[in-house]
Amino acid sequence: MQPPHTGQVTGGDSSLYNEDLAPIPQEKRSWGAFEIFNVWNNDIQSLFGYTLAASLFLSYGLNGWLTFAAIVLSGVLVMWLVNLSGRPSVRYGIPYAVMARASMGVRGARFPALIRGIVAIFWYGVQTYFASTAVALALRALFGIEMTGDGAGGFLGLGGVDWIAYIIVAGFQIGLFLMGIEWVGKFLNWAGPFVYLVMIALALMIWWQAGNGIWTEIGTIFQGGDSDRSTIAGFVAVVGTMVAYFAAVVINFGDFSRFVKTEAQMRKGNFWGLPVSMAFFSFIALFITAGAVVLFGERLTDPTQIVARVDNLGLTLLAALTFFAATVGINLVANFIPAAYDISNMAPDRISAKQGGLITAAIAFVIGALWVSLISKIGIAGFVDTLGAILAPLYGILIADYYIVQKRELALPDLFSADPQGRYHYEQGWNKRALLAVGLAALFSVGTVWLPALQALSGFGWLIGAVLGGVLYISFTKRH
């Protein structure tokens, strides 16, 4: 379906409207399937993404074919979820922060924007730090500087080289964001294929050094191993883990799909970027991991450790650039851009998306700087996972509202109107039924984080919380 003419919204209530949140007309959209494909490439190819893919072949005792099947199935499932959440933004050209107004109310949408913004800012700071470790690796290799040890000396546990690298990465990300979404798209289009080329080159180098013994080790991994879980439980755990990895991007995928010209292009990019790319990248991770066993006698799932063992300056510099590009890519996709829109939505008349990005960068700079000395040591993950669990029902409500309650038709001007007679004004701008559905469903999804009895469902806690949120929302809406 082609997007409708969006020029009908040229303004709105000043507390709800600015040019960054406004619908993007069809003629101003520049993204196609390739850009969406690379959104997912950069998400998958981060340092954490590689380590996760490699570890899944080793952690659950499944044979390799079942693990591959679970990874591909999770890719299909995530593709289905983002096709649902991305479709309305393709049609109407609006970001998630505005789309949420239809279900939560024009004022109530600030609640999911605030929660999503907090999660995004935290992870943006953390990912900025991890991207800086790649730059620090390159600087030390170039100038022959020895690593003094994790957190040893320096200010806040970071040495001089670490601080220089951290400032470089922080400044690069801000500069790229301020240049506009087109430059972000160009960076993603460069980083995605580049990372693949380097990973393939690393795999070939490992194969050349390890010889045909690599195939024996791959065969061993494919035979599986001992596990406390049953085969079905292990398969479910792999699928749930991969879905949970993408959960943060699933809800705000409209922030990217709004730049795509047609829904067909979005769906094509999602297909090649999710199940296909995930399967290919996972095999590369498996191949390199198996080669590391032959060469070093260990199952190393961290690519930085593998590069360090190879001890080659050229490879170190190339790998550092690769890790930097991949981590910055996911940071822009999953954290920076969503947080900028979410903060802007808190006060559109006073905060533009660029200003929201600067606020994000400033707060996240402090978070990343404190990672080594403080945050990594106090178990902050539970706090962030809790906020993430609250997001699960918000996705379910978004989908239930658009496809069932609104019947795929939005009154676009009312999304930017504070008029009490507006379709999405509800009760003083808040839809209390949606908030009640969020609260009740979140009790379950948050419980998978904190309650031992529910932690076995933690991988699927997000999906169950999303379904529960949608069902409750529909039930409360029909009773009204």
Q: What is the pLDDT of residues 400-416, one digit of tens each?
A: 999 999 999 999 999 99
Least confident stretch, 113-117, 216-220, 266-270, 429-433: 216-220
CA distance linking residue 121 with residue 360, whole number of Å: 6
Are the C-beta atoms of 6 and 93 separated by less than 8 Å? yes
Domains and CATH numbers, the chain: 31-479 (1.10.4160.10)
pLDDT at residue number 225: 62
The helix/strand/coil state of 201 is helix
pLDDT at residue number 150: 45
- Residue 196 has which token pair? 């693949």
Least confident stretch, 132-136, 259-263, 359-363: 132-136
Are the C-beta atoms of 401 and 99 separated by less than 8 Å? no
pLDDT at residue number 103: 96
Least confident stretch, 128-137, 326-335, 424-433: 326-335
Are the C-beta atoms of 106 and 21 separated by less than 8 Å? no
pLDDT at residue number 312: 75
pLDDT at residue number 2: 39
> What band does 90 get if pLDDT is binned at 50, 70 and 90?
very high
- CB within 8 A of 407, min separation 6: which ones? none
The residue-averaged pLDDT of 231-248 equals: 81
Residue of 91, 88, 95, 89 whose CA lies nearest to 112: 95
pLDDT at residue number 384: 65
Does pLDDT of 467 surpass 90?
yes
- CB within 8 A of 450, min separation 6: which ones? 382, 386
Does pLDDT of 270 surpass 80?
yes
Are the C-beta atoms of 274 and 76 separated by less than 8 Å? yes
Q: What percentage of residues in the chain have a pLDDT greater than 90?
A: 39
The residue-averaged pLDDT of 113-133 equals: 88
Are the C-beta atoms of 20 and 344 separated by less than 8 Å? yes
The helix/strand/coil state of 260 is strand
CA distance linking residue 392 with residue 465, whole number of Å: 5
Phi-psi region of 211 (alpha: psi -120 to 50; beta: other; left: phi over 0): left
The residue-averaged pLDDT of 170-177 equals: 92
DSSP bridge partners of 260: 31
Return phi, psi of residue 301, to 5°.
-105, -5
Q: What is the pLDDT of residues 374-388, one digit of tens each?
A: 877 776 666 667 777
Q: What is the pLDDT of residues 437-460, one digit of tens each?
A: 999 999 998 898 888 888 777 667
Question: String of b and e for 238-247 (b: at least 16 CB within 10 Å)?
Answer: bbbbbbbbbb
Q: What percentage of residues in the chain have a pLDDT greater than 70?
A: 91
Query: How many Cα atoms within 13 Å fall on the side-chain side of residue 129?
Result: 21
CA distance linking residue 280 with residue 269, whole number of Å: 15
The helix/strand/coil state of 144 is coil
CA distance linking residue 237 with residue 71, whole number of Å: 10
Dihedral angle over CA of 310, 312, 314, 316, nearest 10: 50
- Residue 294 has which token pair? 């032959």
> What band does 9 get if pLDDT is binned at 50, 70 and 90?
low
Question: String of b and e for 207-222 (b: at least 16 CB within 10 Å)?
Answer: beebeeebeebbeebb
pLDDT at residue number 5: 42
Q: What is the pLDDT of residues 180-236, one digit of tens each?
A: 878 888 888 888 788 888 888 888 888 888 888 888 888 877 776 666 667 787 888
The helix/strand/coil state of 202 is helix
CA distance linking residue 261 with residue 269, whole number of Å: 12
| DSSP track, 313-354 | HHHHHHHHHHHHHHHHHHHIIIIIHHHHHHHHHHSTTT--HH
The residue-averaged pLDDT of 345-353 equals: 89
The residue-averaged pLDDT of 269-286 equals: 92
pLDDT at residue number 55: 81
Does pLDDT of 86 surpass 80?
yes
CA distance linking residue 220 with residue 63, whole number of Å: 9
Residue of 206, 217, 207 whose CA lies nearest to 312: 206
Does pLDDT of 324 surpass 70?
yes
Does pLDDT of 106 surpass 80?
yes
The residue-averaged pLDDT of 339-346 equals: 90
Does pLDDT of 149 surpass 60?
no
Does pLDDT of 4 surpass 50?
no
- CB within 8 A of 48, min separation 6: which ones? 130
The residue-averaged pLDDT of 406-427 equals: 94
